[in-house]
Amino acid sequence: MQLNRFTDFGLRVMMYLTQCRDRAQPVTIPEIAERFGISRNHLVKVVHFLSRQGLVAATRGKGGGLALARPADSYRVGELVRLLEHQGNLVECADPPCALHGACRLAGVLHDALRTFYAELDRYTLAELVRQPTGAAIIRLHGLAA
């Protein structure tokens, strides 16, 4: 299984924002785009989605910027990946109709595997993702913005 770029970028944004609580300057989309070498246009879409979901607080205008909407230890990684992935069924048995529909165990096995995958991710919080050495690496990225 491979996560899509939207999820990758969303997780990077969330991880970056964990380390910005004590910064004097607000975190901006152009800053994150530059630090990670990501298209600003892609990040705008990701941040807009995160904001609509109530995960990121975005303030517009001069002095505006981005921040986590709640403490980093309250975000479960599985929760974030579920929202960002928009994951449906791994296989679609009805469209187009599968000749094995109703007599195949594949969809059930894949559903169980996906549930296990998310359960494993839910064991971790965003705060845990940015423990050392990741937190120090993010702070170095912040330093580049100063």
Amino acid in the structure at residue 86 = H
CA-nearest of 55, 81, 78, 80 to 3 is: 81
Average pLDDT over residues 56-74: 92
Amino acid in the structure at residue 114 = L
pLDDT single digits (tens) 91-121: 888 888 888 878 889 988 998 999 999 999 9
Query: Is residue 116 exposed (0-12), middle (13-18) or buried (19+ Cβ within 10 Å)?
Result: exposed
- The span from the CA of 42 to the CA of 58, in Å, is 16
Average pLDDT over residues 63-89: 92
Helix 29-36 to helix 40-52 angle, to the nearest 10 degrees? 130
Q: What is the pTM of this model?
A: 0.86
Q: Which residue has the tokens 């607000």?
A: 26
Average pLDDT over residues 52-57: 96
pLDDT single digits (tens) 30-53: 999 999 999 999 999 999 999 999
pLDDT at site 88: 76
Selected residue with higher pLDDT from 66 and 60:
66
Q: What are the structural domains, with CATH classification, of the chain?
A: 5-143 (1.10.10.10)
- The span from the CA of 105 to the CA of 128, in Å, is 36
Q: Please say whether the beta carbons of 142 and 20 come within 8 A.
A: yes
